[in-house]
Amino acid sequence: MRSIYLLSTIMSKRRSESDDNIPNKKTREICSFKEKCFRRNPHHFMQYDHPHLDVLLGQNDINIPSGYLDKSIVLEQIKILKDVRKPSKELWKDFKQGPSNVTNISTPAKNFAAKLKCNAPYNLFFTVVPDSPQTKNQNNSIQITDLLCPSLGDLKCSLQINFMIDIMWLMEQYAYTKNEKKPLTMLYGEDFPNMKEYMAKCLPNVTPHFIKMQDPFGTHHSKMGIYAYTDGAIRVVISTANLYYEDWNLYCQGVWVSPKCPPLPTDKSDSDGSGPTDFKGSLQSYLKSYNLPCLTEWIERVKRADFSDVKVFFVASMPGKHLPRSSGCHLQRVGDLLSRHCSLPDNNAPSGDGALSWSIIAQSSSLGNFGQTPAAWLRSALLRTLASHKKQPLPGSSNAKLSIIFPTVENVLDSYKGPDGGGCLPYGKKTHEKQRWLESYLHEWKADRSRRTRAMPHMKSYCRVSPCHTRLAYFLLTSANISKAAWGSLNKSDSCSYVRSYEVGVLFLPSFFDEPYFSIDDKQITKGNLFPFMYDLPLSPYKTSDTPWCQ
């Protein structure tokens, strides 16, 4: 259901679109799926024409020909098509009367605070996939409305920082939890059709700010929310999902939800309550980097909050040039943290469980242009960072095994949505043709353990796993795909790095949870907590007949 429009905005800059909604004016290209299109996102119908629906739209007694999709789907599409062609005034009127489509709203948990407590100390969740009913009842499953559950606190206002935001859908989620009139500040990287006009006329409580990138190859790709409550506390949420229906219902996403961070006592200084990882200071630095007046009150809220219970590290990328050990670049930040805090067995360990036997897994929904050989960036920059540990910080050349998870063509075709399931995987065919060597690193998507094999992953995660596949040395959840734009590219002459995009994530390190390693196998765990893990181990390498899904 994710529209081709959404995919195109990830792969290239969206072309200008006329606000004119005259049906017969051919300013839009025809949807490539034609009669097989099953999308029900209004923005898709604003971007693409559907001649087969235009024919039906003119019929008083609609007769759906054979070969079309299920009648209920076609009728819903026709209703949406009528709505998007209404004059703007009628559109605002319709929305003010209430949510337009209750099927777009996920019923929240009755007591998500209790569920959050049960998932302590990691607070790591995976989104519910409606096509896989088993995921609904999993202990660490989450829906967008859970983040607005009253059990978490009486919401006063919120901040959403994201790439793509479907404002009408988002406000339906807020409305369902009776929070639609509360102040909302939004930073976003891509416009939807009529988005600014809609917010100006219909949402006086929303303060939006479009982040215009200076670098044409960069994106405002961060995905984070901050929720402020009437008792003065705040909560931070880091996820991999954009804020629209498809991302929260069709694809596999990861979501970290912070503990509630109470306000500092008045006699405490701003530097108090930074927490064991200085999450507070890192978050403040990230927010300040925008240099936006609309974030001033949020920076102040973070400054006066107590983050003592937050045990993960805040990881960010911000556009520009960064010095070594900078907190504004994934390559520098993650490499520095692993070099100081990641523990691995000695290479001469009697069990053979040495550092090099712990493999590195990188899993993302898009792959960048890495160059003609693995040494150009993948191993010299990314692996150098991910292979770092206390006894070998930022190795110049690592022999650690690097595996990349990216869905095959077969994975996508066998997904719940068939070819449309690949809508969240914008890897270019031309790019892959230039780096066919990458296939020796690739592994298929398989998540039977979490009942998510047939839902394509939009999540991005990086970890180091033991040879027995039962323990992790670290785990990174982030918005950053495997690309130079997200992680940064190293300049060997001065050891600085250059970043094109905004990204945020959280890094889990066992020592900050008083554990030697994270246990991911419930059959092997003897003490401590089970760390949530989505995909299956051991990994399944590409067969000779496999190819990655490319656009």
Query: Residues with catalytic annotation?
Result: 221, 458
Residue 103 DSSP label: G
What is the DSSP-derived secondary structure letter of residue 543? Answer: P
* Closest alpha carbon to 81 in 114, 116, 117, 54: 54
Residues with Cβ within 8 Å of residue 115, at least 6 apart in sequence: 109, 139, 146
CB neighbourhood size of 494 (10 A): 10
Q: Token pair for residue 453?
A: 């094999």
**Is there a contact between 162 and 223 (Cβ–Cβ < 8 Å)?**
yes
Name every residue whose Cβ is closer than 8 Å to that of residue 398 and which is 6 or more positions away in sequence.
379, 383, 384, 387, 392
Half-sphere exposure (CA, 13 Å, Cβ side) for 155? 26
- Name residue 536's amino acid: D
Q: What gap in Å lies between CA 396 and CA 334, rounded to an integer?
A: 16
d(Cα 376, Cα 401) in Å, to the nearest integer? Answer: 17
DSSP letters for 148-214: G-GGG--EEEEEEE-SBB-HHHHHHHHHHTT-TTS-EEEEESBPPTTHHHHHHHH-TTEEEEE---S
Distance in Å from the first CA to the final CA of the chain: 16
Determine the Cα–Cα distance for residues 509 and 199; give it in Å rounded to an integer.
Answer: 41
Distances (CA, A) of 298 to 162, 186, 225, 284: 16, 12, 11, 9
| Two tokens, residue 6 | 């959404």
What is the four-CA torsion angle of 275, 278, 284, 290, rounded to 10 degrees?
Answer: -150
- Which H, E and C letters describe 59-97, residue by residue? CCCCCCCCCCCCHHHHHHHHHHHHHHCCCHHHHHHHHHC
Residue pair 185/157 in contact (Cβ under 8 Å)? The answer is yes
Q: Give me 212's structure tokens.
A: 């215009």
> Please, which residues bridge with residue 457 across strands?
252
8 A C-beta contact, residue 424 and residue 412: no
Sheet holding 124-127, edge to edge: 141-142, 124-127, 254-257, 234-239, 224-229, 155-161, 184-188, 206-210
